[in-house]
Amino acid sequence: MTAIDPTAHLTAEQIEELGRELDAIRDEVIADRGEKDAAYIRKVIAAQRKLELVSRGVLLFSMFPPAWLLGTAGLSVAKIMDNMEIGHNVLHGQWDWMRDPKIHSTTWEWDHVSPSDQWKHSHNELHHTYTNVIGKDNDLGYGIMRVDEDQKWHPFHLGQPLWNFLNACFFEYGIAAYDLELGKNLHKRRRRNPEFRTRARAVGRKIRKQVLKDYVIHPLLSGPSFLTTLGATFTANLVRNLWTHSVIMCGHFPEGVQVFERRSIEGETRGQWYLRQMMGSANISGSKAMHFMTGNLSHQIEHHLFPDLPSNRYAEVAVKVRALFEKYELEYVTGPLPKQVFSAWHKVFRLALPNRKPLVGTADREQELVAA
Amino acid sequence: MVTTPLLPSDYLDLVSPLRAGADLCGRIEAVRPETGDAATVVIRPGRGWRGHTAGQYVRIGVDVDGVRLWRAYSLTSPAHRQDGRITITVKAIPDGRVSNHLVRRAKPGTLVRLDQPTGDFVLSRTAPAKVFFLTAGSGITPVMGMLRDRELDDVVMVHCAPRPQDVIFREELHALVAAGRLRLTEVHTATDGVLDIARLDELVPDWAERETWACGPTGLLDAAEDHWSEHGVQERLHTERFRPGVVVAGEGGEVTFSASGRTVAADGATPLLDVGEEAGVLMPSGCRMGICFGCVTPLKAGAVRDLRTGGITEAEPGVLIQTCVSAAAGPCDIER
């Protein structure tokens, strides 16, 4: 929570008007959504599959360094495309309107150790509904870090730069553990909960399949290139993990992003919900290729406002959304990737230590109250 | 194991969607206009196509404006066509999304989804000696499939269409008449009015002795069924109905939760999620505001209104609705 509420200048009517304007932006896209969008996602899916197939083919000869390099690079990109522009967005239901059972949030499975149904619950239902609400949205530090002054400090947080680095390297396992709420569920009493055990078994099965494919079958298929292919798939998974972790950190952790108290969302209106999404997310600026590789999560603000709009439309929506930020005098948090990654990491380091002085925000609020 | 979480077929579909073992598809090879508002679509079915019997229909899934929509159309090609292709003949109906798309916009090369052919509106194995076809509008399509499939000894046909130029397959029918293979009466409803079923005595005096196949609008078929029953010969009448009923969207209605066997009245403003929960139905839910898709449920019958946009969604196979932002628009049936 920052010192001054950056939305304090808006009246209740203005917030509802803002909500209506955002609804209108959404309706416009939905009215226009059609054949071109469907062709887009099919093209991306086909390209991803071809790239993965070719890369894995090249890796059969990974004992030759150029083949290793080419195959590893291709497989890394294919895995990132699968998780970001395709998996994340399909699982959001962005393409459900096509009524194609093969590209549908209820049937899609991704190249990731967390089974899609568990991820959908923790991500779509919890994170997207309770975005940045302390105590409700576990994405605020994933339960292993403190990313806002208002989160209580614990000596455990001293190690958070290291936790964050390890989480980045093994991000897909971090997500699987997070979706299982492992921290909470490993307590003795909860461990025996049959519902948790079913979910844990599902994760176990998914991990087994993924590991078998990446670290046993494909290396074996490579014959004499066994070890180099093993190294290649490990590297591709690592690259994918580091990249997705960086992109996702930029969504809510950079400086300037607001968090909210649990009480503040009681009886929240549609307009207020929109406003929370606007203030609770941060974008990444960059080229078309950069937007594509982030799965358009570089348009995190637009994604949080309209999580079910097709990702290929966020760029055009962003122009209109940004105009609304200006109209209502709100800060549109955005910046190039290195700047945003640095900002997020800086926060992780800074908040590893307890707050240095009493919260300025609280003091300010008290003063305001006194003045009133 | 090699391709998890995908299947090898997901990759094969990229290069060979019509191969054996693939989900059944077809490729449109040509679209030929028949009348001002009807066209024949020539489709090469995938290897899994099991073949049809003349008179049957096929369910076809077409992407219209990016949305997969399924419709059933009668096959107008004879069974076992030499070149392995099948045809359907489609009449564009007002506001018909799929029919207008197929007649006016479909392009050769497009993939469509197919189901195996089905339907019992077919000729018996041993053709009856005397046949009567009673058809109207696009109801002629399954009958054309039969006429092309087999040579019948004694066939009479009464076909209704607004004007002569609206008669689908008119040239081919007249060629059959010229060859002495068919006796045809055209009823032009724009000038003659709708066919009065009692006129059959005059048009086809021996109608009651003939094995009859009738296909057309509900009004005609209802009249025919009554007429045949009155004369005690209903077992000689075979009918085919295209549209079981038209959904009329309204405000609120009876909601049936068919899996739990509950029916409750709902107004047009309450989300079906709330309606179900109040009725004690186990409803999946999530954000309750239309963003997380945790509540999607199949809509089996009827229509619902999207509370955010006011848009109506009608039931079709495969249609899923978000119950948290959908309200009843007339009676509906959802699978919970």
ipTM: 0.87
Q: Which of A36, A49, A125 minimises the CB distance to B294?
A: A125
Give tens-digit pLDDT for A141-167.
Answer: 998 999 999 999 999 999 999 999 999
Determine, yes or no, domain membership for A89: no
Give the chain A residue nearest B318 (alpha carbons).
A99
Q: Which of A49, A53, A124 minimises the CB distance to B293?
A: A124
d(CA B10, CA B3): 9
Query: Hey, what are A182's tokens?
Result: 């492992």
In chain A, what percentage of residues exceed pLDDT 70? 95
* CA proximity to B65, closest of B94, B25, B105: B105
* CA proximity to A315, closest of A279, A278, A334, A288: A288
Q: Which of A99, A128, A273 minimises the CB distance to B68?
A: A99
Give tens-digit pLDDT for A85-115.
Answer: 999 999 999 999 998 989 999 899 999 999 9
Query: Hey, what are B121's tokens?
Result: 């509106």
Contacts (Cβ under 8 Å, ≥6 apart) of A350: none
Residue A260 three-state SS:
strand
User: Is residue B323 within 8 Å of B283, Cβ to Cβ?
Assistant: yes
Q: Does the distance separating the beta carbons of B68 and A50 come in below 8 Å?
A: no
- Rounded to the nearest 10°, the torsion over CA A24, A35, B104, B239 is -90
Asked if pLDDT for residue A237 goes beyond 50, the answer is yes
Q: Does the distance separating the beta carbons of A97 and B292 come in below 8 Å?
A: no
d(CA B336, CA B334): 6
User: Is residue A322 within 8 Å of A332, Cβ to Cβ?
Assistant: yes
d(CA B87, CA B193): 31
User: Is residue A170 within 8 Å of A211, Cβ to Cβ?
Assistant: no
What domain range is A28 assigned to?
12-33+111-367
Residue A309's pLDDT is what? 97
Q: State the total domains in chain A.
A: 1
Q: Which of A263-277, A345-359, B71-85 has the lowest mean pLDDT?
A: A345-359
User: Is residue A365 within 8 Å of A309, Cβ to Cβ?
Assistant: no
pLDDT band at A359 (very low <50, low <70, confident <90, very high): low
Q: Which residue has the higher pLDDT, A351 or B291?
A: A351
pLDDT band at A11 (very low <50, low <70, confident <90, very high): very high
Q: Does the distance separating the beta carbons of A27 and B66 come in below 8 Å?
A: no
For A282-325, the DSSP string reads: ---B--HHHHHHTTTGGGHHHHHH-TTS-GGGHHHHHHHHHHHH
Radius of gyration over alpha carbons of chain A, in Å?
22
Helix (H) or strand (E) holding A188: helix A188-191
Q: Does the distance separating the beta carbons of A37 and B66 come in below 8 Å?
A: yes
d(CA B24, CA B45): 8
Determine, yes or no, domain membership for A61: no
Determine, yes or no, domain membership for A286: yes
Q: Which amino acid belongs to residue A331?
A: E
Determine, yes or no, domain membership for A246: yes
Cα atoms found within 13 Å of the Cα of residue A116, Cβ hemisphere only: 22
Under-50 pLDDT residues of chain B: 244-246
Top residue of B7, B71, B292 to mutate, by most chain A CBs within 10 Å, is B292
Q: For residues A73-92, give the mean pLDDT.
A: 98
User: Distance from CA of residue A48 to its chain's centroid?
Assistant: 20
Which residue is it, tokens 């009155």?
B230
CA–CA distances in Å: residue B20 to residues A148, B8, B44, B84, B115: 57, 14, 13, 14, 14
Domains of chain B in start order, with CATH, are: 8-114 (2.40.30.10), 130-240 (3.40.50.80), 253-334 (3.10.20.30)
B292 and A CB contact within 8 Å: yes
User: Is residue B171 within 8 Å of B165, Cβ to Cβ?
Assistant: no
Crossing angle of the two packed helices A35-59 and A226-252, in degrees rounded to 10: 140
Q: Does the distance separating the beta carbons of A111 and B5 come in below 8 Å?
A: yes
To 5 degrees, how large is the angle CA A58–CA A59–CA A60? 90
Q: Does the distance separating the beta carbons of B14 and A34 come in below 8 Å?
A: no
To 5 degrees, how large is the angle CA A229–CA A231–CA A232? 60
Q: Does the distance separating the beta carbons of A98 and B66 come in below 8 Å?
A: yes
Q: Which amino acid belongs to residue B147?
A: L
Burial A113-124 (b: 16+ CB within 10 A, else e): bbbbbbbbbbbb
Determine, yes or no, domain membership for A174: yes
Residue A369's pLDDT is what? 39
Q: Which of B3, B65, B294 minimises the CB distance to A121?
A: B294
Give tens-digit pLDDT for A177-190.
Answer: 999 999 888 888 88
d(CA A306, CA A278): 11
Top residue of A40, A125, A131, A203 to mutate, by most chain B CBs within 10 Å, is A125
Q: For residues A19-46, give the mean pLDDT.
A: 97
Give tens-digit pLDDT for A278-306.
Answer: 999 999 999 999 999 999 999 999 999 99
Q: For residues A329-348, give the mean pLDDT.
A: 97
Residue B185's pLDDT is what? 97
Cα atoms found within 13 Å of the Cα of residue A198, Cβ hemisphere only: 5
d(CA A130, CA A124): 10
Total length of chain B: 336
Q: What is the 3-state secondary structure (H, E, C) of chain B?
A: CCCCCCCHHHHHHHHCCCCCCCCCEEEEEEEEEEECCEEEEEEEECCCCCCCCCCCEEEEEEEECCEEEEEEEEECCCCCCCCCCEEEEEECCCCCHHHHHHHHHCCCCCEEEECCCECCCCCCCCCCCEEEEEEEHHHHHHHHHHHHHCCCCEEEEEEEECCHHHCCCHHHHHHHHHCCCCEEEEEEHHHHCCCCHHHHHHHCCCHHHCEEEEECCHHHHHHHHHHHHHCCCHHHEEEECCCCCCCCCCCEEEEEECCCCEEEEECCCCCHHHHHHHCCCCCCCCCCCCCCCCCEEEEEEEEEEECCCCCEEECCCCCEEEHHHEEEEEEEEECC
List the strands of the sheet with B57-64, edge to edge: B67-74, B57-64, B111-114, B25-35, B38-45, B86-91
Largest CA distance in chain B: 71
Determine, yes or no, domain membership for A185: yes
Contacts (Cβ under 8 Å, ≥6 apart) of A186: none
Q: Which of B11, B14, B287 minimises the CB distance to A128?
A: B287
- Phi, psi for B61 (deg, rounded to 5): -105, 115
Determine, yes or no, domain membership for A321: yes
* CA proximity to A48, closest of A24, A22, A80: A80
Residue B187's pLDDT is what? 97
d(CA B179, CA B324): 62
Burial A199-234 (b: 16+ CB within 10 A, else e): bbebbeebbeebeebbeeebbeebeebbebbbbbbe
Determine, yes or no, domain membership for A67: no
Residue A227's pLDDT is what? 97
Top residue of A45, A99, A102, A123 to mutate, by most chain B CBs within 10 Å, is A99
Average pLDDT, chain A: 93
